[in-house]
Amino acid sequence: MAKIKTHIEDCERVLGKGHEEIHRWMDELAKKWKPYHYLEYHRQFRHHDEAVKYIEKKWGWYASQAARLHIIRDSEMYLPMPVMDIMREDQIQELYEKALKYCHPVNKGWENVTLEHCK
């Protein structure tokens, strides 16, 4: 899992703005679990498509792009190649869909994720 600083730097490079509040919101629940649960378990709550839609409604389109980049970065180890250092804005949706396919919480057996867990 990347640090907040890394997520901010990714967004500054690709989107032109760091979106710190989005990254802090997405990882806020990670504090509730011990480090060995931290990497995977906290993602069931705010690292999925429902959360990205919530972010877009609450903070707007570029904030939702920041959330997609956050998920891509956190899922990078599952993707076919390291992508964040060469990422362009026009690649976000394609890589986000791949990240969800391989890393979505439902694919990990965490089926009871709802938008209520995101807020």
Q: What is the pLDDT of residue 42?
A: 57
Residue 32, token pair as written in the block: 């509730």
pLDDT in 10s for each residue of the chain, 119 residues: 678 999 999 999 889 999 999 999 998 877 766 655 555 555 667 888 888 999 999 999 999 999 999 988 888 776 766 666 667 888 888 888 877 776 655 444 444 444 444 44
Please give the C-alpha separations between residue 107 and each of 8, 38, 77, 79, 91, in angstroms, as whole numbers: 27, 17, 16, 15, 23
Alpha-carbon gap, residue 76 to 62, rounded angstroms: 21
Global pTM exceeds 0.85: no
Q: What is the pLDDT of residue 12?
A: 93
* Eight-state DSSP code of residue 118: T
Torsion on CA atoms 75, 80, 84, 86, rounded to nearest 10: -170
